[in-house]
Amino acid sequence: MVRSTVVAVRERLTRNHLRIGFLVVLLACAAGIAYGTGGESAAEYTDAPTDAPAADNYTVITQSGRVGNILAYAPNGSLVYSNDTHTKYYDVDPVENESMTVEYAATDTLYAESPRCQDPPCARNVIERANLSTGEVTEVYAQYVHRETAGEWHDADRIDDRHIVVADIAADQVFMVDTETEMIEWTWDAQSDFPVTGGGSYPGNWVHLNDVEVLEDGRVMASLRNQDQVVFINPETGLADDWTLGAEDEYSILNEQHNPDYIPESRGGPAVVVADSENGRVQEFQRENGDWNRSWVWSDDRMQWPRDADRLPNGNTLVTDTGGERVLEVNQSGDIVWQLDVPHPYDAERLETGDESTGGQSAAALGLTSQRSSSDDNDGHRDVDLDFFDPIVDGVRTLAPSHVVTFVIQSSPPWVTPSDLGPIIVGLATALIWGSTELGWFLRSRGIGIRLPVYRKEK
């Protein structure tokens, strides 16, 4: 009975019927992607949001990856500054005693051959200072790099009027430079303490040294992303092994983290608040009896590849969720009290609250409770959502490693957001099946058969 029904269906189902079915699915996926981006063009989608929710202070945001920009929003939410001169913008810091002035790391991709780039693409890394009120931009220090991939500087930290410390991804080094003479006065090379057999590919993207912070006692804290570790360096004696947070491939602790902030003992530390990127959460670790113990964790079901978390003086935490395409503020109860949807953000700062987590207290001092929130329309999800594709996106995110999802989002066109993954996945699968079916029909029409290379021999 069942067999006869299948045969009857196959007799009625012509090749054109199948083609129409495949085409309908592809059109539905295209409509889903268009609806997910509100029907906007790529240029319209990547434009900076013209307003943000009201906040107590100015909010500065950088974008890198598919979009390169630095944005500043006034307390009333209006956009007061935007600059997309560079290809990518990374860490941004307020300048001490300079109102409405910031310093940031940025990268330009050089596509044309030139005296500075013999084999394009190359990169030009620059540290700049910008007055957000006047728009005046001053170059602080710059270097050319012979490659683009893993050739950026993601962070620099100022020591005094002349000296800055740079996290150099291209050379796998931390170095201090006199910006007036451009002489490098001190360097720590990751090869002095870590084997090249670990981390990422060597010599390509081995360490991915993405953050550096000069501490009050003169030590330097650095983030070795591909080693899953935050390390502490004494410029005189080198790496302090007993202070290292995390261990390579110990993903339950850290998994390719970004932008750790140090909170000193005077504010409830020693503690480190860090964006645990590939684990999709922000964490804090408290230093107790010579060990690092996890003291706080926060995440929600939208979070995808966070890359910054700053503890504010009011006890809230400002989080940059790159894959989730938003910047959000989480209060001490774990609720989202401020959120701005923005394509591919890298770093965020609240001016007049201190550099990064300088003005904040530790989670232990504040009594914060770890929490994984369930997002709703008011505090988590994007304004536009397609319920039909949600189970597909959730399934892919559950089955696929986080770095795979992140790679797909980064390498996709600027208008593709994580919410577009569902229709994209269905569309690609449909196109593959359709193409395979057409190939099979073509081969059979020419008398070419296909069989598995392994078969059972009849006795």
* Residue 33 DSSP SS3: helix
Is 11 part of a structural domain of the chain? no
Q: What is the CATH number of the domain that holds 239?
A: 2.120.10.30
Is 330 part of a structural domain of the chain? yes
Phi and psi at residue 74, to the nearest 5°: -70, 165
Predicted local distance difference test score (pLDDT) of residue 42:
47
Strand order in the sheet with 137-145: 88-94, 101-110, 122-131, 137-145
Q: What whole-number distance in Å separates Cα of residue 347 and Cα of residue 309?
A: 9
Is 355 part of a structural domain of the chain? yes
Answer positive or negative: Cα dihedral of 305, 226, 263, 58.
Answer: negative
- The packing angle between helices 421-445 and 402-411, to 10°, is 80
- The packing angle between helices 390-399 and 402-411, to 10°, is 120
Predicted local distance difference test score (pLDDT) of residue 445:
82
pLDDT tens digits, residue range 168-184? 999 999 999 999 999 99
Is 388 part of a structural domain of the chain? no
Q: What whole-number distance in Å separates Cα of residue 375 and Cα of residue 398?
A: 17
| Domains of the chain: total | 1
Phi and psi at residue 430, to the nearest 5°: -65, -45
Q: Residue 262 is part of which domain span?
A: 50-373
| Lookup: tokens for 278 | 């590939």
Q: What whole-number distance in Å separates Cα of residue 396 and Cα of residue 196?
A: 33
Is 69 part of a structural domain of the chain? yes
Is residue 46 within 8 A of residue 345, CB to CB? The reply is no
Q: What whole-number distance in Å separates Cα of residue 21 and Cα of residue 76?
A: 51
Q: pLDDT below 70 — which residues of the chain?
A: 1-13, 33-47, 374-421, 450-459
- Please list, in sequence order, all residues whose beta carbon lies within 8 angstroms of the beta carbon of residue 78, skipping any fewer than 6 positions away: 50, 51
Is 43 part of a structural domain of the chain? no
Amino acid symbol at 335: D
Predicted local distance difference test score (pLDDT) of residue 25:
83
Is 295 part of a structural domain of the chain? yes
Closest CA to 345 of 272, 424, 417: 417
pLDDT tens digits, residue range 264-297? 999 999 999 999 999 999 999 999 999 999 999 9
Predicted local distance difference test score (pLDDT) of residue 180:
96
| Lookup: tokens for 145 | 């790099």
Is 115 part of a structural domain of the chain? yes
Is residue 409 within 8 A of residue 280, CB to CB? The reply is no
**DSSP alpha helices (H): ranges in 350-451?**
363-366, 390-399, 402-411, 421-445
